[in-house]
Amino acid sequence: MTEQHREIDVLLDEQRTFEPSADFVAAAHVGDRGPYDEAGRDREAYWEAWARRLDWFTPWDTVLEWDPPFSKWFVGGTLNAAYNCLDRHLQARGSKTALIWEGEPGDVRRYTYRELHEEVCRFANALKGLGVGKGDRVAIYLPMVPEAAVAMLACARIGAPHSVVFGGFSPQSLRDRIEDAHATCVITADGGYRRGGIIPLKASTDAAIEGLDYVNSVVVVRRSAVTDPRAAPHGDAVDTPSCDMTAGRDHWYHDLIAAADADFPAEPMDSEDLLYILYTSGTTGKPKGVMHTTGGYMTHVTATAKWVFDLREDDIYWCTADVGWVTGHSYIVYGPLSNGATVVMYEGSPDWPDRGRFWELCERYAVTVFYTAPTAIRAFMRWGDDWPAGYDLSALRLLGTVGEPINPEAWVWYDRHIGGGRCPIVDTWWQTETGGIMITPLPGAITTKPGTATVPFPGIEAAILDEEGNPAESGYLAITSPWPGMLRGVWGDEERYRETYWSKWPDIYFPGDGARVDEDGYYWIMGRVDDVLNVAGHRIGTMEVESALVDHGAVAEAAVVGRSDEIKGQAVAAFVSVVEGTETSEALRQELRGHVAAQIGAIARPADLIFAAELPKTRSGKIMRRLLRDVAEGRALGDTTTLADPAVVRSLQQQFADSEA
Ligand code: WTA
């Protein structure tokens, strides 16, 4: 038994049962596990019933066409994602708050469904005026401001697939993504607030698109001028000098909106038309553009947002993710708005101006459903119980986590100190590729245990398989049948799609995670089994970091592995050999760490960077990452018999020990 398993045994009395949601009960014709059985009997009919909850311009002919590894859902149907998030609510909920936004300095904006609809229509007209049409790719590089949601929905309204790029990514990362998708328009901001400072996104955009002639328009949201101190109770009124604007190419968002018509009929999109591309890290090469289409994706996120978060008419729902990640796409924008929920959005850091900021927001807006990442929970734990205790969190009734395995201590802390022991916790397993939540408890219907995402959502079929594809108690997580929100491919690279996800077993999806199943049939996700790291819930490919390192003139060879980190789950550990004649020094170490951050983004900055005279290799010249992981974890080395020169790792261990000291 590992230490974690022992702990879980101790915590098993933490098993919780709650009342299932009314919507779930209504769907349960055959006892409280009804939808599970129903989906098991006829999965397509079950998903079809969810699709009927959306508004379609024309109905589909066929629910599913499965030509492995390609699936098409609701074939022949037409709909529009923005229409489903906005227009269809106007009659019943036109004056209901759709979005409550708070900036880091403390400025607040609210949009009703009617107001959000109008803004999206205006911006759709503005984009159209700039020449953006159906099928054109638009890059969105924004801070967490309402315009991020507006921009996504305006693209969806036109039928122009968006590619949202996290604002923390470097100009080079933005450029790679713009180039890969051949985006012709970029939507950005002059800046965004983070820990009291301003991140100069427009300057980064200018650097990113230099020389890319096909980028013919840049829309700039004016963000960085909160000049009225009353509007910024938490921050200094920072008025930065305005950014550079290139005549003919760059346009202020507010000018475009003011001049645009408020009427823009939503474009009828084929169910299988591309809704967006979102880049994510893999084992090899540059990040890949995961493609999501319209009908199946909207069905999946609408269903899961409704049942997993048990969304009710009066909920105030807050997901703390950034729209730059899939969680922001599916569970800030498309899923909750499709359900007509009131969504809270926050721009800044959880510790600004102090470590109570999230709880202050929960209190102020009486948040009822709260969805965050285990890495954040572990940071809150470390900051101490007094921070949440200082605020009224009594409105909370449901908590969720996503992004990485949650350790039982963090689960229990979350339950007690945030949920007050009265809120079900939904630990949701899914990926950029899956589009929506796949493995999760349904509050009330599934008894939770700390540390497990429990069972597949009704209509999702999963298994744990060994290398050969035989069922196993412990092995690889597998998704054994197609689901509506599944990725439809990798943008411009069909081979990579087949190779990455469908080559391990025939016609079965391989997510890249290890897992085990317990006596109740619950899934325990153990983390990635490939060279993808999960740092603070963010996916980083070791190859990307290695490429960034060898791009530096002083580096001859680099190998990157993950090591465990108490708060972030994993941290990046880099082993570097320098080119002959280069002196290694603390200054060079810092320079290289900074180089990675500048190349990719701060999230990829190595926590440890160890200089190695040589990297440990097999006799055939393959770098032995397994041994590097042992070194980075500071543990005894595994089997070293295939190592060409054992002295190499011994010296690395010594250096690692020295660097830790
Ligand atoms: C990990 C984020 C354990 C997993 C939505 C997956 C999790 C990767 C969980 C996807 C969870 C996500 N328990 N591990 N509840 N949720 N993961 O694409 O390794 O950024 O493959 O999507 O995060 O990360 P991505």
Question: Is 615 a domain residue?
Answer: yes
What is the pTM for the complete model shown? 0.94
> Crossing angle for the helix pair 542-550 and 586-599, nearest 10 degrees?
120
Domain range for 278 is 77-363+376-392
Q: Report residue 225: phi and psi, to 5°.
A: -130, 75
Question: Is 3 a domain residue?
Answer: no
- Do residue 542 and residue 627 come from a single domain? yes
Question: Is 12 a domain residue?
Answer: no
Find the distance separating the first CA and the last CA of the chain, reported in whole Å. 31
Identity of the amino acid at 149: A
The sign of the dihedral angle between the CA atoms of 331, 333, 339, 340 is positive
- CB under 8 Å, gap of 24 or more: what pairs does 384-387 form? 384/355, 385/417, 387/354, 387/355, 387/356, 387/359
Q: What's the CA gap between 589 and 122, in Å, rounded?
A: 49
- Do residue 310 and residue 290 come from a single domain? yes
- Do residue 543 and residue 517 come from a single domain? no
- Do residue 542 and residue 513 come from a single domain? no
**Atom in ligand 1 nearest the alpha carbon of residue 527:** 19
What CATH number is associated with residue 187? Answer: 3.40.50.12780
- Do residue 518 and residue 536 come from a single domain? no
Place of tokens 């910024």: 232
Q: What is the pLDDT of residue 228?
A: 56
Mutation to probe ligand 1, out of 308, 429, 448, 568 (largest number of atoms < 8 A from CB): 429
- Do residue 114 and residue 215 come from a single domain? yes
Question: Is 426 a domain residue?
Answer: no
Q: What percent of the chain has pLDDT over 90?
A: 83
Given the DSSP bridges, would you call strands 62-67 and 70-75 parallel, antiparallel or unpaired? antiparallel
**Closest residue CA from atom 7 of ligand 1:** 404
Identity of the amino acid at 607: A
Binding site membership of 404 for ligand 1 (Cβ less than 6 Å): yes
Q: What is the pLDDT of residue 645?
A: 83
Q: Of 570, 501, 509, which is closest to residue 539 (Cα–Cα)?
A: 570
Q: What is the pLDDT of residue 229?
A: 54
- Do residue 499 and residue 645 come from a single domain? no
DSSP of 58-99, one letter per residue? B--SEEEEEETTEEEEEET-EE-HHHHHTGGGHHHHTTSEEE
- Do residue 616 and residue 541 come from a single domain? yes
Binding site membership of 453 for ligand 1 (Cβ less than 6 Å): yes
Mutation to probe ligand 1, out of 166, 326, 404, 568 (largest number of atoms < 8 A from CB): 404
Question: Is 104 a domain residue?
Answer: yes
Question: Is 136 a domain residue?
Answer: yes
Two tokens at 200? 């100069």
- Do residue 273 and residue 324 come from a single domain? yes
Q: Ligand 1 centre from 277 Cα, in Å? A: 18
- Do residue 484 and residue 557 come from a single domain? no
DSSP of 203-219, one letter per residue? HHHHHHHTT-TT--EEE
Q: Ligand 1 centre from 266 Cα, in Å? A: 33
Binding site membership of 170 for ligand 1 (Cβ less than 6 Å): no
List beta partners, residue 576: 558, 611
Binding site membership of 407 for ligand 1 (Cβ less than 6 Å): no
**Closest residue CA from atom 10 of ligand 1:** 431
Binding site membership of 324 for ligand 1 (Cβ less than 6 Å): no
Q: What is the pLDDT of residue 620?
A: 87
Low-confidence stretches of the chain (pLDDT < 50) are: 1-8, 10, 12, 29-31, 237
In contact, 433 and 444? CB cutoff 8 Å: no
Q: What's the CA gap between 522 and 136, in Å, rounded?
A: 43
Q: What's the CA gap between 625 and 658, in Å, rounded?
A: 20
- Residue 641 DSSP code: T
Angle at 225 between CA 220 and CA 231, to 5 degrees: 125
- Do residue 606 and residue 619 come from a single domain? yes
Question: Is 618 a domain residue?
Answer: yes
What CATH number is associated with residue 469? Answer: 2.30.38.10
Contacting residues for 500 by C-beta, under 8 A, at least 6 apart: 282, 283, 288, 490, 510
The total number of structural domains that make up the chain:
3
- Do residue 500 and residue 586 come from a single domain? no
Mutation to probe ligand 1, out of 377, 378, 399, 513 (largest number of atoms < 8 A from CB): 513
Binding site membership of 429 for ligand 1 (Cβ less than 6 Å): yes
Q: What is the pLDDT of residue 661?
A: 64
Domain limit, last residue, from 528, 552, 584: 528
What CATH number is associated with residue 560? Answer: 3.30.300.30
Question: Is 37 a domain residue?
Answer: no
Q: Ligand 1 centre from 245 Cα, in Å? A: 39
